[in-house]
Amino acid sequence: MSRLEQIVDLEKRVGQEAEKTNHPATGRSRHRLIRRDEGKRKGEPKTQLPTEATEAISVCKTLAGRFGLPTGDKKVEPALSLPKNYIPGPTIEEHWLPLAGSRMRYLKAGSGPALIMVHGLLAYSFSWRFTIPVVAQHATVYAMDNLGAGLSPSPAGMDCGMRATAERLLQFVDALGIAEFDLLGTSHGGAVAMLAAALCAERHDPRLKRLILVAPVNPWSPHGKRLAPFVGTRAGSFLFRHTIARWRFLDYLWLRRLFEDGAKIPPDSLEGYRRPVRENRAFEHALRIVSTWTADLAELEQALPRICNYPTLLIWGTRDRAVHFRSAERLRRNFCTAHLIAFDGVGHLPYEEAPQDFNTALVDYLYRERQA
């Protein structure tokens, strides 16, 4: 049995057990794969930080511990109710790396070819909690918390523009001595990944091999073109700070907007995404990002022709309310060789709303393409 067949078999058995508990995050997905195209067209957190240059921290066995949920005096249940016959995946290590005048937190797991994961706006490595255990059986996975996001503090006056974030991503690659890598980015992280690819192309840097873009922010999506720039204005940021940033009951509403089916929101999501807000001023970091949103999108559009030769996988939910699915085809045409995988009835976060389908599609692409 091949490695891909083994992981698919494992996911099926886990899904069958999870179905018995009717768990929304791990039960068998009923989402339909509707398209598969191939084109040939041309601050400081409250946690104590390690002091070593790069230090691995012992991470507890629960998924809550692995991905940064609090484990203090208050008892915290594991992020998932795992089946009795669950087979534990690879060890997930938490690391801290001095970078750009601060310390970057990242998770590392598995062995083999490197895959770097870049989260979206107001997200962090926690977003990949259902993906890392699967993909790490085939690759060395690096899931970073960008400076200012997750639990990574940002230095005073840090440039939060997309290009500067892409530069720090490549500094991360340099610091770890990664010889070659694939790059997976979602939403705002997808735009950062594309700009990082443009930087590699400009510098004739051969280390980046492929792009995997999950509903990436792009110039052709009408969603976000008005709201994000408005929030970045003085009036918009004032309104944001005095409503959404303060009123915790609104957390569910913005999270619900990212899912087509509210019943599929994993039970650990609200607490997981609240932690950086409480401990690392994540909302302030987000406001600094959107303050340059319009200029960043214009720069991204200019950079896209330079990345046309990278083999690319696009993954989208057809009911995405954050980055419109209609922009997927236009973005696909930018690349000489690209696949587009769309999940019918799924929102902006397919790796959380339909994790089994997402993981299967991702592993299949990584290893089918590698064999080719």
CA distance 66 to 128: 11
Q: Which of 63, 68, 172, 76 is nearest to 125 (CA)?
A: 68
pTM: 0.77
Q: What is the DSSP string of 98-146?
A: EETTEEEEEEEE--SSEEEEE--TT--GGGGTTTHHHHTTTSEEEEE--
Across 298-310, average pLDDT: 97
Per-residue pLDDT, averaged over 192-204, amounts to: 98
Mean pLDDT of 342-354: 97
> Could you report the per-residue pLDDT of 219-240, keeping only the tens digit for each?
999 765 555 554 445 554 445 5
pLDDT of residue 338: 96
Q: Do 325 and 346 contact (CB within 8 A), yes or no?
A: no
Q: Assign domain 3-371 one CATH number from 3.10.580.10, 3.40.47.10, 3.40.50.1820, 3.90.79.10.
A: 3.40.50.1820
Mean pLDDT of 309-319: 98
User: Over 50: is that where the pLDDT of 145 sits?
Assistant: yes
- Token couple for 13: 């058995």
What is the per-residue pLDDT for 235? 55
Residue 258 binned pLDDT confidence (cut-offs 50, 70, 90): very high
**In this structure, are residues 144 and 166 in contact, taking their beta carbons and an 8 Å threshold?**
no
Please name every residue paired with 312 in a beta bridge, in sequence order, or none if there are none.
Answer: 211, 338
The structural domains of the chain, with segments of one domain joined by +, span: 3-371
Q: What is the mean pLDDT of the chain?
A: 79
pLDDT digits (tens, 9 = 90+) for 43-73: 444 433 333 333 343 333 344 444 554 433 3
What's the pLDDT score for residue 254? 76
Q: Tens digits of per-residue pLDDT, 152-162? A: 999 999 999 99
75 pLDDT more than 90: no
Q: What pLDDT is recorded for position 12?
A: 53
Q: What is the pLDDT of residue 71?
A: 37
Compare 103 and 86 and report the one with higher pLDDT.
103
